[in-house]
Amino acid sequence: MITDTQYSKWLKNSDAHRVVLVELQDSDNNKLYLSNAWYISKPTDTDPNRPYIDVIQSIPPIVSRYDRDATIGSLRLINNGHFDDWLKDAKVVGHPINIYLGDQSWSRDDFKIAFSGLCGGLFDVSKGLIDIRITDKRSLLNRTIAHWTNTVPASLRPTIYGAVKNITPIAVQFSTKIYYYCHKDGYAMNVFQVRDNGVPVAFTKIGNAFYLAAPGYGEITCDAGSTTSSWLTAVASEIAQAAGLSVDEIDTSGLDTRSVGVYVTDPSQTAISALNDLLSPLNIKWRFNRDGKLSFTKLVVPENILIAHTVTADDIVLESIKRVSYEAPVNNITVGYAKNWTVQNTANLAGSVSDENRVIWSQSAQSTTHSNDVQTEHPFAVDSTLETYLVSSVHAENHAVEQVQVRSARHIYRMTIKNYLFQMLIGEGIHITAPHYEFKTGQNAIIIGVTEDIKKESATIEVWL
Amino acid sequence: MSNIKLIVTNQLNSMSLSSVPDAEVNLPVDNLKRSEKSLVMRTTSTSIIVTGVLPGQVTADGVFLSNYSFNLDATLNLTLKLQGVEQLNQNFQTDAQLIPLGTWVAGVDPYGGYTGKQIRKMVGFWFSAPVTYDEIILTINDPANIDGYFDVGRIFIGQAYSPQLNMSYGCQLEWLDDVRHERTYSGSLHSTGGSDHRRMTINLNYLSDSDRAALETELFKNNRKSDLLISGYPGVGGVKEMTHQFIAKREKAPRYSHNFSNNNTLPLVFLEV
């Protein structure tokens, strides 16, 4: 087997005979095997003696960006009659299409994935030419993540991800004092505290419900959450899994271990909106990578990033460096945390509730503010308020400080790197030295976009610094 | 050396094919009729016998194999039979051999030390006289094969068309590639791409009426979608014959000109498949 190091070396070898293999699957798990140059797997391969028909006329560049799903557009094929049955009968729309890259002389098992997506359909272009439209997997997350239960009484029950404060459980059998606080298959949940008009009361947990020792007369609320983890890594992954993704389809390496809590009460809420609500205020972008995995990128201060790539003037195509955008810095930033999922009227809270809790239960969240005060230097600097699902005040304060540094005045540059196919990953650090005003003495940056052109064997990157 | 030859009709396409041992399931013997380069016949044995049976008798004067991966010292045997009676039995092998570094070879090496694999040499031969047959038996022995398998892409057999007067001077052979050059900030010139194919342009400026009729009939029966075998300099040997002999399709529709009494012209452009 070829190692990752050998593969990287091969990618930089301009004399290599690169072959793009495409496998398109239909609803019956039959596959079309296509390529842009002739290729046959070896007798010793996992799928032995497999011919790939070299009918692919063009392969568009693969575009990856930190805030968008990787895309490739359409593959154009020459239809020599080989695909007539597929055009007529095959159910391919929405089914996997995988693109692999390797050398014509290699074993098939040594090829590596270049893009994994879903087929958007086969379409006529002109006589003898058809396009395979390829879509990303975002549609897989456009599914609701609240849960129905068939147990009596059948109902839609709210779903907890992580740890949540002061939610309103559903009273299903008032006479027996039973409340459902959550229903979520496969996850153990805890109820940490139950309150009646803000005053803690005794309760007994039974599965995803609890019952009170005595009837509740006021507004019943509770704190609840996962017994395993309320870390961001776990919560984002659970939301994606609730929409149907498998663990293998999720790469949580771009996430961290801050505690968060999400309470899904809206039956129409999708995983897409839940992930956006959870991650956007934390300045974390999510997307489906070109390998088909759900991935996450958190922008950090570029000056301090770990450098994964060093490129010089000899790597960068002449006249390709361009400054393409400017981002104004943040002036003052307010970070909300400890979201209160049931905002209560202080008049209804019991008299024994402390003044501190009285404030907490009557506000939608707590917040912390960090000042930057740069509007004199940067008139376009803006104030920013981030409503996060962070639980801890320490995490919120750190987030505010960090965002002021991260969201300084920034630029995005674009440039084309030769012989650097599939080497650079979104979020990695890069050190660039080139005869261009910004990079003359060398500059650290973060890769936020990569457009990989297999035909030109080059990568056009967007860097943020 | 003889005039240019074209096998326009590949008689193998009309044959019922079988092999011993059986070719690999995904790469069967019938792939020998297919033009796509990845659709080859593959055996994991060191030898294979391919048998082809025709519905009726035909006449051929040449056989050639292309897109093969057996070793250059593999031996081949062609037997042609008519109603079970042997008409031709001839051993042959590829005649371009790699000359190992440091090895002195007497005489002039017509291939300049090239291997057949480097410039896609076809292996085969023109018969000394046309043979009428209805069954072909082709045996390939490659005992030194260390890959664990070998492939054969195409077998071309048929009767060549060859005009009485040769093509005119000016035959053009192009090696088309997709190499692109790009310069970096430091001045290096990076080159990418590289796959190539041949394009051959000839002018048949001296076709008698009977030559024209014979060629026109052949080309009419096999449209531009069909593969044909072209040999620009058959029998001349060496790199010149090797580079001007390949399986091709015609780029343009034929345009005959009857420019003189009993004389016709026809320009042809061939694209390597």
- Predicted pLDDT of residue B105: 45
Report the DSSP pairing between strands A443-453 and A458-464. antiparallel
CB B247 within 8 A of CB B228: yes
Can you tell me the distance from the alpha carbon of A302 to that of A375, in angstroms, rounded to the nearest whole number? 22
B36 contacts on A by Cβ (under 8 Å): 38, 51, 53-55, 80
Instruction: Report chain A's terminal Cα–Cα distance, integer Å.
Output: 38
Contact call for B38 and A35, based on CB within 8 A: yes
Please check whether residue A80 is in contact with residue A104, taking contact to mean a CB–CB distance below 8 angstroms.
no
**What integer pLDDT is reported at residue B115 of this predicted model?**
44
Q: For A386-413, what is each residue's pLDDT tens digit?
A: 999 999 999 999 999 999 999 999 999 9
| CB contact at 8 A, B142 and B47 | yes
- Pairwise CA distance, residues B106 & B113, whole Å: 13
**Is pLDDT above 60 for A126?**
yes
Does the pLDDT of residue A334 top 60, yes or no? yes
* Nearest residue in chain A measured CA to CA from B182: A317
**Of A338-342, A350-354, B188-192, minimum mean pLDDT range:** B188-192
Say how many residues make up chain A.
465
Q: Of the given ranges (A3-7, A23-27, A223-227, A254-258), which has the lowest mean pLDDT?
A: A223-227
The reply to whether residue B184 touches residue A37, judged by beta carbons under 8 angstroms, is no
Quote the mean pLDDT of chain A. 89
Residues of A in Cβ contact (< 8 Å) with B184: 313-318, 418
The beta-carbon neighbor of A435 closest among B36, B148, B185 is B185
Q: Give residue A147's pLDDT.
A: 65
For residues B115 and A156, which has the higher predicted lDDT (pLDDT)? A156
pLDDT classification of A80: cutoffs 50, 70, 90? confident
Residue linked to tokens 């009726």: B56
Chain centroid offset of residue A205 CA? 34
Confidence of residue A285 (pLDDT cuts 50, 70, 90): very high
Is A103 in a helix, a strand, or coil?
strand
Distance from CA of B187 to the nearest CA of A (A): 7
- Tell me the pLDDT tens digit for each residue of B224-238: 999 999 999 998 888
Q: What pLDDT was estimated at residue B93? A: 82
Q: Can you read off the two tokens belonging to residue A106? A: 């290699």
**Interatomic CA distance for residues B60 and B157, integer angstroms:** 7
Cα–Cα nearest to B82, from B103, B55, B57, B52: B57
**B258 or A90, higher pLDDT:** B258
The percent helix, strand, coil of chain B (3-state, each to 5) is 10, 45, 45
Q: Are strands A31-35 and A51-54 parallel, antiparallel or unpaired?
A: parallel
A292-306, A323-337, B178-192 — which is least confidently predicted? Answer: B178-192
- Pick the closest to residue B70 from B160, B158, B138 (CA basis): B138
The answer to whether residues A426 and A289 touch, using CB atoms and an 8 Å cutoff, is: yes
Higher-pLDDT residue of B7, A136:
B7
Please compute Rg for chain A using Cα positions. 27
- Return the number of other C-beta atoms located less than 10 Å from residue A223's C-beta: 19
**Of A17 and A432, which is predicted with more confidence?**
A432
Q: Give CA–CA dist A271/A111, Å, rounded.
A: 33
Check if the beta carbon of residue A381 is closer than 8 Å to that of residue A330. Answer: yes
Burial class (CB in 10 A: 0-12, 13-18, 19+), A34: buried
CB-nearest to B38 from A38, A315, A318 is A38
Pairing between β-strand A170-173 and β-strand A178-180 as defined by DSSP bridges? antiparallel
Residues B16 and B135: beta-carbon distance below 8 Å: no
- How many whole angstroms separate alpha carbon A14 and alpha carbon B228? 33
Question: Would you state the pLDDT for residue A444?
Answer: 96
Percent residues over pLDDT 70 in chain A: 94
pLDDT of residue A188: 60
Residue B35 burial class via C-beta count within 10 angstroms: exposed 0-12, middle 13-18, buried 19 and up: middle
Task: List the single residue in B149, B183, B190 with the smallest CB-CB distance to A43.
Answer: B149
Instruction: Provide the edge-to-edge strand list for the sheet that holds A199-201.
Output: A199-201, A189-196, A220-226, A159-167, A261-264
Query: Can you give the pLDDT at residue B56?
Result: 96
Residue A435 has pLDDT above 80, yes or no: yes
Complex ipTM over 0.95: no
Q: Do A14 and B184 touch (CB under 8 A)?
A: no
Token pair, residue A401, equals 């400080």
Strand arrangement of the beta sheet that strand A382-387 belongs to: A366-371, A330-337, A382-387
**Tokens describing residue B159:** 């009767």
Q: Evaluate if residue A180 carries a pLDDT over 90.
A: no
Could you list the pLDDT tens digit for every one of the 273 residues in chain B?
789 999 999 999 999 999 999 999 999 999 999 999 999 999 999 999 999 999 999 999 999 999 999 988 899 999 999 999 999 999 998 765 544 444 444 444 444 444 444 556 789 999 999 999 999 999 999 998 889 999 999 999 999 999 999 999 999 999 998 888 889 898 888 888 777 899 999 999 999 999 999 999 999 999 999 999 999 999 888 889 989 999 999 999 999 999 999 999 999 999 999
Whole-number CA gyration radius for chain B? 20
C-alpha distance from residue A65 to each of A296, A389, A448, A464 (Å): 11, 25, 6, 12
Contacts of A14 in chain B (CB under 8 A): 190-192
**Number of neighbouring beta carbons within 10 Å of residue A426:** 25
Confidence check: pLDDT of A283 > 50: yes
Residue A437 CB coordination number (10 Å): 8
Question: For residue B164, what are its two tokens?
Answer: 């009485």
From chain B residues 166-205, the ones with a CB under 8 A of any chain A CB are 180, 182-186, 188, 190-195
Looking at chain B, how many residues does it have?
273
What is the count of residue pairs from A and B with beta carbons less than 8 Å apart?
85
How many CB atoms within 10 Å of residue B169?
7
Q: Are B92 and B122 in contact (CB under 8 A)?
A: no
pLDDT digits (tens, 9 = 90+) for A22-72: 999 988 888 999 999 999 999 999 999 999 999 998 889 999 999 989 999
**Spatial separation of the C-alpha atoms in residues A310 and A15, rounded to whole Å:** 23
Q: Is the pLDDT of residue A173 over 80?
A: no
Residues A443 and A437 sit within 8 Å (Cβ to Cβ): no
Kindly state the DSSP code that residue A270 receives in the 8-state scheme. Answer: B
Task: Give the range with max mean pLDDT: A81-85, A136-140, A161-165.
Answer: A161-165
Beta-bridge mates of residue B6: B161, B230
Cα distances (Å, whole numbers) of residue B207 to A446, B212, B217, B250, B267? 69, 6, 14, 18, 11
**Residue B253 and residue B224 in contact, taking contact as beta carbons nearer than 8 Å:** yes
**Residues in chain A within 8 Å Cβ distance of B44:** 43
DSSP letter assigned to residue B31: G
Query: Of the ranges A183-192, A345-354, B96-105, B155-164, which is most confident?
Result: B155-164
Would you say A381 and A328 are in contact if contact means Cβ atoms under 8 Å apart?
yes
Cis omega before residue A153 (within 30°)?
yes
Residue A453 CA neighbour count, 13 Å, CB half:
12
Specify the residue for token string 């071309």: B156
Cβ-Cβ contacts under 8 Å, A458 against chain B: 182, 192
d(CA A236, CA A171) in angstroms, rounded, equals 28
Q: How far apart are CA B115 and CA B132, in angstroms?
A: 33
